[in-house]
Chain A
Amino acid sequence: MERSTVKANLYSFNTHTVKEKFYPFRVSEDYLSYYFESRSEERTIHKAIELVKIDENTYNLALGDLGDDGSLNDSVVSNNGDMHKVLATVSQIIVTFFGMYRDRRIYFTGSSPSRTRLYRLILSREQANWSEIFEIKGILKGEPFNYQSGVDYEAFVITHKNRDYETKDEKGRYP
């Protein structure tokens, strides 16, 4: 299998904002498909993220587990005891995406109201960590607002605050 590597150098990306270790992940050549493994002593869960363009500058983020048939779904609550590490991995993947797709936006929501509520609780709890890196708006009643804890948003839109970074491949090219 032919593989190449890239190294993303992020200026002003303070290490204090990334307290959790994250899983190594693989990415497709177009930087829209990602794969990593959530590991515990009991099991390994195959996880994937797919980003699909939904308007000129916005991509929908779908996160889920890979089923036995190889398809992506998020109908199962994994409960693998590593939620923080999974979230840290998702955060790294989002940063990697923004490294390749500058000035774009990521839209995401849960597949059910309860899942969206869970994402909102996680965002509120982790706000001190992500607020230095990302700007997140919550969509409510047909309008996006700057994210605030305790508001029952229908969906979320992420942009990267720090666009002053570069992503190069091993030959120093900007893809």
Chain B
Amino acid sequence: MKPKTKKEDTLDLPRVTVDPNLKSHANDPFVVRKVEEAKRVLATLKKPLSEYYK
């Protein structure tokens, strides 16, 4: 069951603006490099990352 939350304890986030025209930077060289580095680090883990969250 979902815990009851007092109104004053609930963060009322501002409305997040979804912009369909927002440009993705997934293919920018900096991001591509970061992704490759991240995959390299994850590949060096002694076991898959998901195993550490079981």
Contacts from A to B (Cβ < 8 Å): 1-15, 18, 24-29, 32-35, 48, 50, 52, 54-58, 60, 62, 64, 70-75, 92, 95-96, 105, 107, 109, 111, 137, 139, 142-144, 154-155, 157, 159, 164, 169
Residues of A contacting B: mostly: strand
Contact check, B26 vs A142: say whether CB atoms are below 8 A apart.
no
Q: A48-B25, A55-B49 are in contact. Are A18 and B17 (CB under 8 A)?
A: no
> Closest residue of chain A to B34, judged by CB?
A62
Complex CA distance for A56 and B50, rounded to whole angstroms: 9
**Number of B residues with CB within 8 Å of any CB on chain A:** 40
Partner of B16, one of A7, A10, A15, A62: A7
Closest Cβ neighbor of A73 among chain B residues: B30
The distance from the CB of A7 to the nearest CB of chain B, in whole angstroms, is 6
